Amino acid sequence: MDFNQCINKCALSEVKSSGSKFTWWNGRIDGECIFKKLDRVLCNQEFEQILPTSKVHHLIRQGSDHAPLHFICNSEESIIRPFKFLNFWTKHPKFRKVAHRFWNFKQRSRRCSWSKETFGNIFNEVQTLEEEIRIKEMQLEINPSPGNRQELSRT
């Protein structure tokens, strides 16, 4: 029994995906270049009924031959984000003073604004850089030339 027959026999279906249509690249260019969709998330009908908005996003490969899969069970985004402590904050000369002053401060939004005011919105910066890499990956998928591979490596 091959893989597709097994999927059919188990009554599994692929979760809807977004991002690049390929999840694997052999790392070669020009005529030897191969892109495939090897990685996927499968589910049964009961799962689809319980979590109908589930989806998978194919993330950028970031140096690997496989794209990581981000499985999202609930497509509604949370408005309140959990607090994240970022280790590089401790290297800032004013960190101790700010941490001490805001440790017991009751307004969470004011307490968390220090990072954005000091370092900028690093999460948006990461998102922007990931989008640049995603575009370079798409260009490589369309035209697997040495120049496009070099552009992706530089990004």
The SS3 call for residue 122 is: helix
Four-residue CA torsion sign, 110, 115, 121, 124: negative
Any domain includes 18: yes
Any domain includes 91: no
Cβ-contact 114, 102 below 8 angstroms: yes
Any domain includes 100: no
Any domain includes 109: no
d(CA 78, CA 22): 29
Helices (H), the chain: 3-9, 45-50, 95-102, 108-119, 122-142, 146-154
**The predicted structure's pLDDT at residue 77:** 55
Domain that holds residue 18: 3-77+121-154
Any domain includes 115: no
Q: Do the strands 55-58 and 69-72 form a parallel or antiparallel pair, or are they unpaired?
A: antiparallel
Any domain includes 140: yes
Torsion of the alpha carbons at 50, 52, 58 and 64, rounded to the nearest 10: 10
Q: Which residue has the higher pLDDT, 141 or 11?
A: 11
pTM to 2 decimal places:
0.60
d(CA 18, CA 104): 42
d(CA 113, CA 98): 11
Convert the pLDDT of each residue in 8-54 to its tens digit.
Answer: 999 999 999 999 999 999 989 888 999 999 999 999 999 998 888 99
Q: Which residue has the higher pLDDT, 54 or 75?
A: 54
Q: How far is CA 74 from the centre of its chain?
A: 16
Any domain includes 110: no
Number of domains in the chain: 1
- Whether 109 shows a pLDDT value over 70: the answer reads no
Any domain includes 148: yes
Average pLDDT over the chain, rounded to an integer: 85
